[in-house]
Structure 1
Amino acid sequence: METEHARPDDLAALRAAFDADSCEPPLGWDAVRAFEAEHGVVLPEPYRTFVAEVCDGSRVGPPAYGLTPLAELPDDWGDDRPRRVLAEPFPLTEAWLWEEDPDPEAAEPVLDRVFDHGSIVLGTDGCGMYWHLIVTGPHRGHVWNITDVGAVPFGAEFGHTTSEPGFAGWVRHWAAGGEWFDAA
């Protein structure tokens, strides 16, 4: 998974996956750099080039309710969440089902960081299921599914899917009609 340089084959796959009629106009490089400066991050490739040159959000998936524009949150995100801090590292490196955590009170401080630190929200599949692109920390460039019961990284190396990790792998999987969690 390449996070520093956009590979031409990844960009071609992203362009092919999103219908221009359903896409919001790309932001352009000045707007992307301004967003990065404001939040103290550099977006991982190929997502960075995608929002600058191809599409900043889409009315069709992935995820189910469309790809959320870079500077926005899904409509069902809620107004009572803590302030999002993209420059703070995303705290997880492996799947975590907090619903099954034996010490839920100890888990509480980490929960807000899972939802609100080190990631941008790509969109929702509804019912509190959000897809995040990690922008800081050890999992920079990976896509995670974060729900009300737990968080799971996307990609074959994590055992839940047969697809490549990262934004391009996530989009390719969706465009091919794959089930999100298709590993046996």
Structure 2
Amino acid sequence: MSLEHLKTKVQDSGINIRPPLSIEEVREFEAQAGISLPVDYVEFITTIANGGFSPCRLSPLADWHYRYDIKRPQPEICLTQPCIITPDAVQHGDKWIDVQNVDRYEERWDNHEWDPLVGTICVAELGCGWVYSLIINGPFVGRIFAYGGGAFLPPQFVEERTFTDWIESSVDKIVDGKHLSFLDGKV
């Protein structure tokens, strides 16, 4: 799938998107954070859309920390930490964080000093506190997962292995007349 073809699909879908960022704005964010964003995500936000306007709930890069429960999330701290979320988290049920052996996570989370979303950015809001997040640090860089259940409901990875595959699959569903509330606002 070419980027131009995906751009045409997004435009044809009627999704209410924001204008793209410049590559300079993205590089400035990466430099401040001390990270590199996945190439396909950068291509999307610099060529097609930097998030959406209501009812589309694609998140702009500036809202990378949406759903983080940290007092003052700073990209150079939050995004340089490896993501603890793994595809097998769902198999561990409400013990999904415990198996990661995160030092004093309950105390740090209660004090708003740590969040299981470190090493990720929000790419879409689902509603009711649920988000789609993109892993940008750790062994599963580039993967998307849904999360919103706090400590007791583990995150669930989407089937698609890349941001581009996930967004294209989602847009295809809208074009086919299906509804995805995070893109078209319909329930």
Query: Is the 1:121–1:131 contact (alpha carbons within 8 Å) kept by the matching residues of 2?
Result: yes
Query: Is the 1:86–1:136 contact (alpha carbons within 8 Å) kept by the matching residues of 2?
Result: yes
Shifted more, 32-41 versus 17-26: the winner is 17-26
Matched, 1:147 2:148: yes
User: What are the residue-to-residue correspondences of 1:1-184 with 2, within 5 Å?
Assistant: 9-19=1-11, 22-59=16-53, 65-73=56-64, 77=67, 81-82=70-71, 83=73, 85-97=78-90, 100-101=94-95, 109=105, 112-115=114-117, 117-148=118-149, 149-155=153-159, 164-177=160-173
Query: Is the 2:83–2:120 contact (alpha carbons within 8 Å) kept by the matching residues of 1?
Result: yes
Kindly tell me the number of residue pairs found equivalent between the two proteins: 158
Provide the residue aligned with 2:184 in structure 1: none
Q: Cα RMSD between the aligned structures?
A: 3.3
Cα deviation digits, residues 113-145 of structure 1 (max 9, x gap): 422x11110121111211001111111011111
Distance (whole Å) between structure 1 residues aligned to residue 96 and residue 44 of structure 2? 41
Using a 3 Å threshold, how does the CA distance of structure 1 residues 126 and 166 change in structure 2: closer, same or farther?
same
Distance (whole Å) between structure 2 residues aligned to residue 51 and residue 167 of structure 1? 11
The residue matched to 1:139 in structure 2 has which SS? coil
Query: Is the 1:60–1:66 contact (alpha carbons within 8 Å) kept by the matching residues of 2?
Result: yes
Larger % of helix: which? 2
Provide the residue aligned with 1:159 in structure 2: none
Higher relative contact order, chain-length normalized (CA < 8 Å, sep 6+):
2
The residue matched to 1:122 in structure 2 has which SS? strand
Structure possessing the higher radius of gyration over alpha carbons:
2
Using a 3 Å threshold, how does the CA distance of structure 1 residues 142 and 129 change in structure 2: closer, same or farther?
same
Q: Percent identity?
A: 24
Matched residue type, 1:67 = L
Using a 3 Å threshold, how does the CA distance of structure 1 residues 56 and 16 change in structure 2: closer, same or farther?
same
Provide the residue aligned with 2:183 in structure 1: none
